Amino acid sequence: MSKPLDRLTLLETFVRIADAGSISAAARDLGLSQPSASRQLAELESRLKTQLIRRTTHSLVLTDAGVDLLADARQMIDGWEALSEKHLASDRHIQGSLKVVAPVALGQLHLARIAWRFQQDHPGVRVSWRLEDDPIRFAEVGCDCWIKVGPVPDETLVVRSLGAVERLLVASRSFITQHGMPENPKAAERLPLAALEPFEGQQIPLVQGEKRTATIRPEPRMRTNNIFALKEAALMGLGMAVMPRWFVAPELKSGELIDILPTWRAPSLDVHVAYLPGRHQTLRLTTFLETLREQVLGISGIFSRD
């Protein structure tokens, strides 16, 4: 009977093939020949008595059994790595790979710096940094944690809030010169809007303090699903726009953009981090999560609800 380590090796090879989408690419990553990687996949399929990957002319596709196994295999591999870390004699050196999925704008402008500083502090960690705004299938992507602004649509994950994003209605100085400064939400409703898709309900709820609320329904002059394009439209005076403070802090400071309803705010959104539940968490993941909790609140426009 093969040793448990041999079984783990087969699972690691399968996971690497699934991630790479190619046996040859996975073999290169693992330092194996392509025939060796193919044999390991075939042996795993033989032991489990099921086909895990369907081979086509140009690609590999996971079968239903392969999709189910992929999530379990990742947990087993992570569990083994966590167990190894726990029982290494007093050696708390953090090492290994850490794969993170983060939102595009926040991940590019702010969170990436947190990740790179983490890697500088722990040079034994290899960081994979993927930027994605759309929902992901956590098990298939194979990340260690997923940072997302707004709700996380996956009840199988542990979800923790890192902070809340302040959102405000902004416009350029040229826009204000042309349309005037609105005195209240009702006046703002008459102004053209640059909208970020999805513009749900075609309305913008606003809050003042803890109790007063208002809802405006301005006419969108343009729409986009990209927040960088939205900011450019606002800067060019095409419309007012709802923006997170962290994204427009430099433009607010320089006066390129103006907070046009300074006592009113769009509802804040939480920044969440999600990861798989389990008794064993790798030291590199738990340390990175601690780093996130400490440093995200240092970003301008992100605050604690506590």
pLDDT of residue 296: 97
- The continuous run of DSSP H or E covering 145 comes out as strand 145-149
pLDDT of residue 84: 64
Q: Is the pLDDT of residue 295 over 90?
A: yes
pLDDT of residue 2: 45
- Read off the DSSP letter of residue 107: I
* Amino acid at the residue 121: D
Low-confidence winner among 76-80, 86-90, 127-131 (lowest mean pLDDT): 86-90
With beta carbons less than 8 A apart as the criterion, state whether 144 and 282 touch: yes
Considering the entire predicted model, what is its pTM?
A: 0.75
pLDDT-derived band at 187, boundaries 50, 70, 90: very high
pLDDT of residue 241: 97
pLDDT of residue 12: 79
Give pLDDT tens digits for 197-233: 888 778 999 999 877 899 999 999 999 999 999 999 9
* Domains in the chain with CATH codes: 4-82 (1.10.10.10), 96-163+269-303 (3.40.190.10), 165-267 (3.40.190.290)
pLDDT of residue 91: 47
Give percent of the chain above pLDDT 70.
92
Q: Which two tokens stand for residue 245?
A: 């403070």
Question: What is the residue whose two structure tokens read 């992570």?
Answer: 78
Q: Please report, for residues 106, 172, 245, 258, the alpha-carbon distance to residue 248 in angstroms, rounded to integers and kept in the order given.
A: 11, 11, 5, 10
- The continuous run of DSSP H or E covering 269 comes out as strand 266-275
With beta carbons less than 8 A apart as the criterion, state whether 51 and 62 touch: no
> Distance (Å, rounded) from C-alpha 37 to C-alpha 25?
10
* Amino acid at the residue 269: L
- Please indicate whether residue 75 or residue 232 has the higher confidence score (pLDDT): 232
